[in-house]
Structure 1
Amino acid sequence: MLITGLILGAVLGAVMQRGRFCVTGMLRDIFTRGTWRPFTALLIVISVHAIGLTALTSAGIITPEYSPFAPAAVIVGAFIFGVSIVLAGGCASGTWYRAGEGLVGSWLALVGYALSAAAMKTGPLSGVNAWLRQFTVGQTTVPATFGLSPWWFAIGLGVLTAYLAARFLQAEFSGPRPVSLAQPLHRRPLHVYLAAVIIGVIGVVAWPLSAATGRNDGLGITTPSKNVANYIVTGDSSFLDWGALLVLGILVGALIAAKVSGEFRVRVPDARTSSRAVVGGIGMGVGASWAGGCTVGNGMVQTSLFTYQGWVALAFFAVGVGVAAKIWLKPSGRKTAAGTYSTDESVDGRAAHPETATTSVTAPAYAVAPVALKVREQQSAPAGLTEVAPGEFALDTLGAVCPFPLIEAVSAMDELRSGQTLVIDFDCTQATDAIPRWAAEAGHEVTEFRATGDAGWRTKVRKG
């Protein structure tokens, strides 16, 4: 039955890759774009998960076990994890599936993540982990505190989530529609809300399949990643449990999905991004170990069980992401070059550049012929942009992980005049949705959107 972990993981990896499902981005967009639309997808996962797990528990099919709530460890660990996933360029599951897309930076983050988690859970730092997690309180779940059935919370959350999703979908389909790529069905991405429903169902199915192998748990990334690292280091096959095969399946499924959709390409980061990925990965392992789980174990599973650990961790994941976004997620500081002035002469009185203002100067009486002089402001391309055609400026973000293509695009667009066009080259899969959606919401026009090769795209956005 262990093979079910690999199979279910492959399905999960494919769905996450096709749905561009990244909890880091969902939390980040609250702070950088002021929108809760992506975060609602996470609420959909939790709601589907909650209803399914509550049903399985009520039927006696599964028996969840709850760890003591260690507030200090959860708060500190979740905050560290939130900061670290911004540095790493993705959360735990996001890092696994992006590794399947060929992002070498995600591989570096995975190494740091798995090794630091192993050090915290079973290695030289296990004492540090145990010390902070020893400070516990008696309460574990919200339903138990109030003496209520978990069905009240599962149904209540489901109703709230359905309301939010309906509002965002109504706004999406009634407002300006983002331009999408014209491509075959098997290459089209999943709507993030549909992906969320599928992920929620996968999470429900995961628990009984995992329990059948002796692992009484559902989806999880941190401990399985630690087990993969332990197996590689020691060769002990006992570490290859259902969870370890699950995360390996995520990698395989994402790789297959990326290859089929033409979104796989090995992308090597620069030194700065590489160092951030390693530091972020190490922080992810430390933070998730203290918090008792990552954005999957805590943010999807424990929240669906309505444990204090899950919801407190999710809140401080968000705080960490918000702080990190404030510090690091900024445009490159491109500045518009100052305009210069020149004087052009036209013996026939016509402006050489009709789009600019012309001032005629009358010559003295002894002049051979009147001369029209024109003062024109020369608009040079904004720093960091190249004018590739009249009124079109190129922005190269190839190699930049999300959300930087969008951040740079927004910054560059601020420097253009209405009617001018920004030509954006990028290779981040999430930007295939983020950039057209931003353009539609901001009132800009996407005049071209096409693939330029495997995992490469170009879009032209005319400023509105």
Structure 2
Amino acid sequence: MLWTIISGLLVGGMLGFAMQRTRFCLTGGFRDMYVQKSNKMFYALLIAITIQGIGLWVLSAIGYLHLSYDSFSVVGTMIGSFVFGIGIILAGGCATGTWYRAGEGLIGSWIALFMYAFFAAMTKFGVFKPLLDKMNSMTVAEADMTQLTGLPYWLLLLVLTLVTLFVVRKELSKPKPKFAVPTLKPKFTGVRHMLFEKRYHPFMAAVVIGLIALIAWPASISTGREGGLGITTPSAHLVQFLLTGDGKLLNWGVFLILGIFSGAYIAARGSREFKWRLPDKITIRNSAIGGALMGVGASLAGGCSIGNGLVATATMSAQGWLSLIFMILGTWFMSYFVFIRPMRQAKKVAVKPQTA
């Protein structure tokens, strides 16, 4: 049990620290693909997936682990991921983003986090479980893309690697802005500057996130839990533990998410970015609704932006890639109402001719 606590907190702490310091935000990345026509953060996600995938291939080749696949509901994954995508735009962060932003002191993220964990528990173990069971019984398909396509894992991974290298090279070859961006004088020096102040390129952040995601596998396996990073089920288990006091629910995943919060808190404190921030009424409303949709959506989809979007994709799971697509579509759908339509309405008002 002691090693479960230590390893979970360590991996989670590294992830929370890295994501807070690098501002690695998948919600913003998916949104920017539509709103700002920028794919940089999506390409960063591909880097993290590829690094983890290569590592898993090596671990599988040496016999350290065996990747297993469960069947999944196509309809449940599509609907759940779309709903999850809507939720993360309203909540202002995905599952992991909500955990690490709560560590920065954002009250809106605390609200979204509570609703996310509570509704995930309701869907997985409570009054919404009949809905989950119904979804899971519909259009069940094989998740293993090797079985579906007949192509070996290494070949699928090679295709992903080549695509990732192509888009990254294309992004890095874009001409840089001619104007100089003013930089502030560093507050810290040496190691403290590197840890708490220096800004990192999203691609560098992706390398770190990918390596942490890979480390999570042997760390988790060493405690008897075969799997990688996961946020939704551990969040639901934490709620169950708080309500029932059942110590059996305190597994590696629960300590992982507590580590994410702790690591983000340390990073925010160290960089002097921690501050309690109370949102306005609209943000409180959106955070609550968004968190609830995240909890239900991730449960129906069998994972969130980390469990499906980062981990399952690296294992070449059809569920992971299908979920990622519909997650992005959900963020685009909600981004239209939150960002695009208000901007268009504001432009119409600005160009409206003045009457005498």
> Which residue number in structure 2 is paired with residue 225 of structure 1?
235
Query: Whole-Å Cα distance in 1 between the matches of residues 181 and 66 of structure 2?
Result: 44
1:105 maps to which of 91, 100, 108: 108
- Does residue 33 of the first structure (1) align with residue 43 of the second (2)? no
Match for residue 18 of structure 1 among 16, 21, 25 = 21
User: How do 1:39-50 and structure 2 match up within 5 A?
Assistant: 39-50=42-53
Paired residues, what number? 340
Q: 1:165 to 1:176 in 2, by over 3 A?
A: farther
| TM-score normalized with structure 2 length | 0.91
Q: Deviations over 1:255-294 (max 9, x none)?
A: 1101111111111001110011011001000000000000
Q: CA separation of 1:23/1:339 partners in 2, compared to 1, >3 Å: closer, same or farther?
A: same
Gaps of 5+ in 1: 341-464
Deviation at 1:339, TM superposition (A): 11
The match for 1:70 is 73
Distance in 2 between residues matched to 1:271 and 1:122, nearest whole Å: 31
Whether contact under 8 Å (1:187, 1:262) holds in the other structure is no
Q: Contact conserved, 2:112 with 2:290, CA < 8 A, in 1?
A: yes
Which has a greater percent of strand?
A: 1
Measured after TM superposition, the shift of residue 89 of structure 1 is 0.4
Residues 80/152 of structure 1: CA separation in 2 closer, same or farther (3 Å cut): same
Q: What RMSD in Å do the two structures reach over aligned CA positions? A: 2.0
CA distance in 1, matches of 2:270, 2:176: 28
Matched, 1:318 2:321: no
Displacement of 1:91 after TM fit?
0.4
| Mapped partners of 1:205, 1:267: distance in 2 | 33
Partner of residue 244, structure 1: 254
| Aligned position for 1:347 | none
What aligned pairs does 1:64-463 form with structure 2 within 5 A after superposition? 64-171=67-174, 173=176, 176=179, 178-183=181-186, 184=188, 185=193, 186-329=196-339, 330-331=342-343, 333=346
Partner AA of 1:169 in structure 2: L
| 1:7 paired to 2:10 | yes
| Residues 339-391 of structure 1 deviation map (CA, whole Å, 9 limit, x = unaligned) | 99xxxxxxxxxxxxxxxxxxxxxxxxxxxxxxxxxxxxxxxxxxxxxxxxxxx
- Name the structure where helix makes up a greater proportion of residues: 2
For 1:124 and 1:158, the matched residues in 2 are separated by 42
8 Å Cα contact 2:50-2:161 kept in structure 1: yes
Alignment gaps of 5+ in structure 2: none
Change (3 A) 1:190 1:130: same
Residue 227 of structure 1: how far off its partner (Å): 1.1
Rounded Cα–Cα distance in structure 1 between residues aligned with 2:27 and 2:139: 28
Report the residue type matching 2:96 in the other structure: S
Q: Deviations 1:176-198 (Å, cap 9, x if unpaired)?
A: 55444332323122221111111
Equivalent pair of 1:188/1:261 in contact (CA under 8 Å): no
After superposition, what is the alpha-carbon deviation per residue over 1:86-111, rounded to whole angstroms, capped at 9, x for unaligned? Answer: 00000000111111111100000000
Deviation at 1:174, TM superposition (A): 7.2
Larger Rg: 1
Corresponding letter in the other structure for 1:203: A
Q: C-alpha deviations, 1:171-225, integer Å up to 9, x for none?
A: 2657655444332323122221111111111111101111121211100110011
**SS state of the match for residue 171, structure 1?**
coil
Which amino acid in 2 is paired with 1:15? A
1:197 aligned partner, one-letter code: V
| In 2: Cα distance, 1:89 partner to 1:273 partner | 9
Structure 1 CA distance for aligned equivalents of residues 179 and 62 of structure 2: 45
CA distance in 1 between counterparts of 2:199 and 2:146 reads 37
**Could you tell me which amino acid in structure 2 is paired with residue 13 of structure 1?**
G
Contact 2:73–2:141 (8 Å) recurs in 1: no
Structure 1 window deviating more from structure 2 (288-297 vs 228-237): it is 228-237
Partners of 1:222 and 1:204 lie apart in 2 by 19
| 8 Å contact kept, 2:52–2:314 | yes
Change (3 A) 1:32 1:138: closer
Q: Distance in 2 between matches of 1:279 and 1:303?
A: 27
User: TM-score, length-normalised on structure 1?
Assistant: 0.70
Aligned to 1:349: none
The answer to whether the Cα contact below 8 Å between 2:40 and 2:202 also exists between their aligned partners in 1 is: no
Identity of aligned residues (%): 40
| 169-178 vs 218-227, which moves further | 169-178
Q: Is the 8 A contact 2:92 2:287 kept in 1?
A: yes
| 2:234/2:257 contact within 8 Å kept | yes
Offset at 1:318? 0.7
Is the Cα–Cα contact under 8 Å of residues 10 and 252 in structure 1 kept in the other structure? yes
Bigger relative contact order, structure 1 or 2 (CA pairs below 8 A, ≥6 apart): 2
Whole-angstrom distance in 2 between the partners of 1:41 and 1:210: 24
Shift of 1:8: 0.8
CA distance in 2, matches of 1:163, 1:182: 36
User: Does the 8 Å CA contact 1:68/1:136 hold for their aligned counterparts?
Assistant: no
